[in-house]
Amino acid sequence: MRILLAILLTVSATAVPMLASAEVQTKAVDHMDEDVPLTGHLYWDDGIAGQRPGVLVIHEWWGLNDYAKQRARMLAELGYVAFAADMYGNDKVTDDPSQAQEWMQYITADVELWRQRAGLGLEQLKASEYVDADKTAAIGYCFGGGTVMQMAYGGADVHGVVSFHGSLPAAPEEVWGKIEPEILVLHGQADSFIDPAVVTNFQNKLEEAGANWEMDIYGGARHGFTNPDAGAYGIENLQYDAQADARSWARMQAFFDELFAD
């Protein structure tokens, strides 16, 4: 009995450090978009062996801040490799709405630049040794939600995209019949930034385009409903909604389970 107990204690003593050493790792990844320096952040769980699906994360209009990085970390905790992309460059981050709007409008004014910048982030994700490059997706928040829709319209090589309280750019006619990624849109019904007519037009254009799409709408949820700090920016339409946050994150996970099943 004493011998057995000693063996068990020895095994426990060696096993615990091994388990504790498996954790989410991160590294900064510097790259360029012509003359603009970009720094994204890669996240992965080093306790998982082999390659696994990769998910690109596109930030809100504030820039690549801690919130976007935290979502990338959460994806790594689920077993994915995540890359939090930098859409503005030069480490631009702000909490000033007017500055955020200026930076966002600079990117979105040129659709080719918009899609190109996101595509560079996808390239960095796929270049990781931990990623199965044949199994990738992209998610985005606010401005990032509109960005992943543009990726879908622009022919980005991803299996699916997920928009959280994103802008809803309508599918242009030239991409009808050509949208390959599956689309999941998670939207707050009380988001006053998005007029109901915009929502209807967005849905109609996806249908006319023949896209594989789904839109979940959360009653009473405003813009930024996934971000616990949404209310700190002093904008009435920005408000965290714990229920919508939990439900939308769970819906994303189920979407990915189906997307990467094979």
Q: Is the pLDDT of residue 8 over 50?
A: no
The residue ranges of DSSP E strands in the chain, in sequence order, are: 24-33, 36-45, 52-58, 81-85, 131-141, 160-164, 182-188, 213-218
Beta-carbon count within 10 A of 98 CB:
7
Per-residue pLDDT, averaged over 45-56, amounts to 97
Per-residue pLDDT, averaged over 103-113, amounts to 98
Report residue 4's pLDDT band, with 50, 70 and 90 as the boundaries: very low
Per-residue pLDDT, averaged over 218-247, amounts to 97
Q: Tell me the CATH number for domain 24-259.
A: 3.40.50.1820
Lowest mean pLDDT among 13-27, 52-66, 74-88: 13-27
CA-CA distance, 220 to 191, in Å (whole number)? 8
Report residue 221's pLDDT band, with 50, 70 and 90 as the boundaries: very high
CA-CA distance, 260 to 97, in Å (whole number)? 37
CA-CA distance, 140 to 60, in Å (whole number)? 7
CA-CA distance, 218 to 185, in Å (whole number)? 11
Residue type, 23: E
Per-residue pLDDT, averaged over 68-82, amounts to 98
Q: Which residues pair with 99 in a beta bridge?
A: none
- Counting DSSP H helices and E strands in the chain, the numbers are 7, 8
Report residue 17's pLDDT band, with 50, 70 and 90 as the boundaries: very low
Residues 6+ apart with CB under 8 A from 168: 145, 146, 149, 185, 187, 194, 198, 199, 202
CA-CA distance, 34 to 20, in Å (whole number)? 42
